[in-house]
């Protein structure tokens, strides 16, 4: 069984891909360079793709900076030391990002003859992004059936989001049990000039909290 996995280079998509691989899917990995300030993660995606033993890895440039609207794709600074319990969606939200990414994955899946898409979204320890929720995943599956030749011909596209209801600590424990090397990954939104994580953006804080809750050291910081 073939599946297309959206691979960012972060911890979550690596784990989601590994879970799909353990379930028997042969993976094709899609990485989008979208003008994110932490483009460093694309290098990590290459290492992660190799570690996952994917059949093919496509890096696609889709520059979203002209659209803007996010501190990840504009000059607006990424918020640091934010209160993660605060209501609302932070400025790191990229408008329609997961819709765009899944749409591209859908097109590629259709070409490859795959009906399974894998995405590492997570609705618990996340930053409040709307396109990381179960309602979004269900709506995309419904769209995929209507949008494609394969769907019209009867294919049932499925969006696998195996991390959807897991905490970050559960994700990390699961990945470690699968033998993953999280030292290959990159999570930070605002990396230092030398590429090291800032330790203060939402993504760094959620990652650190996840490793702490899992009772494990983060190999990236070793």
The binding site for a second copy (CB under 8 A) comprises 58, 60-64, 66-69, 89, 93-100, 103-104, 106-108, 110-111, 130-131, 133, 135-136, 138-140, 142-149, 151-152
> 123 or 172, CB closer to a second copy?
123
Q: How far is the CB of 145 from a second copy (least distance, A)?
A: 8
> 97 or 174, CB closer to a second copy?
97
> 60 or 221, CB closer to a second copy?
60
Q: How far is the CB of 64 from a second copy (least distance, A)?
A: 7
Q: How far is the CB of 219 from a second copy (least distance, A)?
A: 32
Integer Cα distance of 199 and 221 in angstroms: 10
> 143 or 208, CB closer to a second copy?
143
Would you list the DSSP string of 11-38?
HHHHHHHHHHHHTTPEEEEEEEE-S-TT
- 59-to-16, 19, 37, 41 alpha-carbon distances in Å: 18, 21, 17, 12
Q: How far is the CB of 174 from a second copy (least distance, A)?
A: 26
Q: Is 147 exposed, middle or buried (0-12, 13-18, 19+ CB in 10 A)?
A: middle
Integer Cα distance of 101 and 82 in angstroms: 27
**How far, in whole angstroms, is CA 93 from its chain's centroid?**
13
């Amino acid at each position: 069984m073939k599946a297309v996995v959206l691979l960012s280079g972060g911890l979550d998509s690596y784990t989601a891909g590994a879970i799909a691989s353990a379930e028997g899917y042969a993976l094709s990995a899609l990485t989008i360079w979208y003008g994110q300030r932490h483009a460093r993660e694309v290098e990590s995606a290459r290492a992660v793709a190799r570690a996952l033993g994917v059949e093919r890895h496509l890096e696609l440039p889709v520059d979203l900076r002209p659209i803007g609207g996010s501190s990840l794709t504009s000059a607006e600074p990424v918020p640091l030391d934010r209160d993660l319990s605060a209501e609302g969606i932070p400025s790191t939200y990229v408008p329609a990002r997961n819709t765009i990414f899944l749409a591209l994955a859908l097109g590629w899946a259709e070409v490859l003859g795959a009906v399974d898409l894998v995405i590492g979204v997570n609705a618990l320890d996340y930053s409040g992004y709307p396109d990381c929720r179960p309602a979004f995943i269900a709506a995309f599956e419904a769209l995929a059936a209507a949008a494609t030749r394969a769907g019209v011909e009867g294919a049932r596209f499925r969006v696998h989001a195996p991390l959807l209801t897991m905490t970050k600590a559960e994700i990390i424990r699961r990945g470690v049990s699968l033998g993953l090397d999280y030292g290959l990954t990159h999570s930070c939104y605002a990396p230092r000039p030398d590429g090291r994580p800032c330790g203060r953006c939402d993504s760094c804080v959620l990652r650190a909290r996840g490793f702490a809750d899992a009772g494990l050291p983060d190999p990236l910081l070793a």
